């Protein structure tokens, strides 16, 4: 009981962080760069229809933040005084989702506008129906947050000050409750309220801090930064499926390598990829991860797609190498050792982040094909090339080659083999020497022993 009272008290203190100015500031149209042309038609439609129906409605979050920074928003979020049911009733093309946070998705072709109802602060509220709608675990983890409130309360429940800026399409003002505009100008990320409390409520906010810091090239303000390392292990309480989604967001925002560095710096990689971190600490190199992330970043810049299974194949590669080698050292033959290692690494990873089957299958195939790619004699190369995952495995091979992991020239060989015609292929295969010795099954050695 006393514990509960204490927690409640500390939450209240957190909510009233004295160092934080909570003064509403309205920035008129001629003092900011958010124009209607920078907002998508679907987002405008949602705002107008909600307003017309008598509700308050604002653009909020990344949509406002990214336009203010002269960037192009990834998507648009709307905050409104309408309840989820009221929003749903207004838009035939909408669906209610979520339990922890009930929100409405309004669908326009491929574009989804996420509409949330202003959230209130149930800690000030002792009535039972409210506490039923806002639940925290004994660690302070927010399990449910469906208490509705005013726009100002809504601003204070958001994560970073730069994410709590509202754009009003009626008078074109930007409304700032938490000093977000100043923080945008100073290029810094600052949590609203007491950082430790806010991270305990939702440890994923630590990952969001890293994601925005890398994406926007912002500094994390000292008080926001301070508790991260100590609280990083709290991420292990987050459902694995949510962490899988967050990992994808972290590494597909176009700044994967910077994100990776920050995750390491703040001890946040371990809760996401425990086996990888263990392998790296034991001396496994991470050059392949870096190369893969650099590749991913380049692909995103070129507007190309990035597949989750390729990303996970790279992130778990050091863990796989360590496990595979351990098994070979224990006397298991190379091929079964690989299969066992794959099963083990995936089995453990899904406890941390989950990997949906549609991704773990192809990831396995990419790994397995790495053993087949050096073996090209006879019909092998042609058979390998017909494998549905050949292309991804070949890309992976190129990344490994860039990371200095495979015999130089193997990637180039495959590049030429794909480009040439039938006669060219025959020639390439005959140059390999059909009757020559089989490729050596080389055992992998720890990086330190490579030159020995």
Give the interface with ligand ATP as residue ranges (CB under 6 A).
61-62, 74-75, 77, 158-159, 163-164, 202, 204-205
Tokens of 121: 């602060």
Collapsed DSSP state (helix, strand, coil) of residue 35: coil
204 binds, among ligand ATP, Mg ion, none (CB under 5 to 8 A by kind): ligand ATP
CA distance 21 to 177: 8
Closest by Cα among 165, 161, 164, 263 to 211: 263
Please identify, using beta-carbon distances, which residue of 159 and 405 lies nearer to Mg ion: 159
Contact pick of 62, 140, 256, 362 for Mg ion (by CB under 5 A): 62
Closest by Cα among 148, 118, 154 to 130: 148
CB of 323 to Mg ion, least distance (A): 37
CA distance 224 to 205: 10
Task: Answer yes or no: are the C-beta atoms of 7 and 140 closer than 8 Å.
Answer: yes
Task: Answer yes or no: are the C-beta atoms of 161 and 68 closer than 8 Å.
Answer: no
Task: Tell me which of 159, 183, 297, 395 is the catalytic residue.
Answer: 159
CA distance 353 to 360: 12
Please identify, using beta-carbon distances, which residue of 116 and 296 lies nearer to Mg ion: 116
String marking each residue 132-161 x if it binds Mg ion according to CB under 5 A: ------------------------------
The reply on whether position 42 binds Mg ion by CB under 5 A is no
Beta bridge partners of 176: 25, 165
Is residue 77 part of the annotated active site? The answer reads: yes
CB of 386 to ligand ATP, least distance (A): 39
CB of 351 to Mg ion, least distance (A): 29
Instruction: Tell me 57's DSSP state.
Output: E
Please identify, using beta-carbon distances, which residue of 61 and 318 lies nearer to ligand ATP: 61
Please identify, using beta-carbon distances, which residue of 77 and 257 lies nearer to Mg ion: 77
> What residues from 75 to 94 belong to the interface with Mg ion (CB under 5 A)?
75, 77
Tokens of 85: 């049911």
Please identify, using beta-carbon distances, which residue of 159 and 196 lies nearer to ligand ATP: 159
Q: How many CA atoms lie within 13 A of 360 on its CB side?
A: 15
Is residue 128 part of the annotated active site? The answer reads: no
**Residues labelled as active-site residues:** 75, 77, 159
Binding site for Mg ion (CB under 5 A): 61-62, 75, 77
């Amino acid at each position: 009981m006393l514990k509960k009272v204490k927690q409640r008290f500390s939450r209240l203190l957190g909510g009233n962080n004295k160092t934080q100015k909570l003064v509403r500031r309205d920035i008129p149209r001629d003092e900011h760069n958010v124009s209607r042309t920078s907002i998508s038609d679907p987002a405008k439609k949602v705002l107008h229809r909600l307003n017309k129906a008598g509700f308050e409605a604002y653009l909020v979050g990344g949509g406002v933040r990214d336009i203010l920074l002269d960037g192009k928003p990834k998507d648009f979020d709307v905050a409104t005084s309408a309840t989820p049911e009221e929003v749903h009733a207004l838009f035939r093309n909408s669906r209610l989702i979520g339990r922890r946070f009930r929100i409405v998705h309004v669908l326009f072709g491929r574009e989804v506008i996420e509409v949330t109802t202003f959230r209130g602060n149930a800690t000030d509220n002792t009535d039972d129906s409210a506490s039923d709608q806002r639940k925290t675990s004994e660690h302070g983890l927010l399990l449910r947050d469906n208490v509705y409130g005013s726009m100002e309360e809504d601003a204070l429940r958001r994560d970073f000050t730069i994410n709590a800026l509202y754009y009003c399409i009626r008078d074109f003002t930007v409304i700032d409750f938490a000093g977000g505009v100043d923080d945008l100008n100073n290029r810094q990320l600052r949590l609203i309220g007491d950082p430790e409390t806010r991270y305990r409520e939702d440890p994923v906010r630590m990952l969001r801090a890293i994601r925005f810091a890398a994406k926007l090239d912002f500094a994390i303000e000292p008080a926001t930064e301070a508790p991260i390392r100590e609280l990083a292990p709290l991420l292990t309480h987050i459902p694995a499926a949510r962490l899988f989604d967050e990992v994808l967001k972290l590494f597909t925002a176009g700044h994967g390598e910077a994100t990776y560095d920050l995750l390491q710096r703040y001890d946040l990689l371990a809760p996401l990829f425990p086996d990888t971190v263990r392998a790296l600490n034991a001396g496994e190199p991470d050059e392949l991860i870096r190369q893969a992330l650099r590749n991913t970043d380049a692909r995103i810049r070129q507007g190309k797609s990035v597949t989750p299974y390729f990303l996970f194949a790279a992130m778990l590669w050091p863990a796989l190498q360590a496990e595979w080698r351990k098994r070979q050292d224990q006397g298991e033959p190379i091929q079964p050792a690989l299969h066992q290692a794959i099963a083990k690494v995936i089995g453990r990873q899904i406890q941390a982040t989950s990997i949906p089957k549609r991704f773990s299958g192809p990831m396995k195939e990419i790994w397995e094909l790495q053993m087949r790619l050096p073996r090209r004699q006879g019909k092998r190369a042609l058979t390998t090339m017909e494998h549905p995952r050949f292309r991804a495995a070949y890309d992976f091979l190129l990344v490994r080659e860039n990371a200095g992991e495979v015999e130089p020239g193997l990637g180039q060989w495959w590049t030429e083999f794909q480009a040439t015609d039938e006669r060219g292929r025959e020639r390439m295969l005959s140059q390999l020497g059909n009757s020559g010795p089989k490729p050596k099954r080389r055992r992998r050695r720890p990086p330190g022993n490579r030159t020995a």
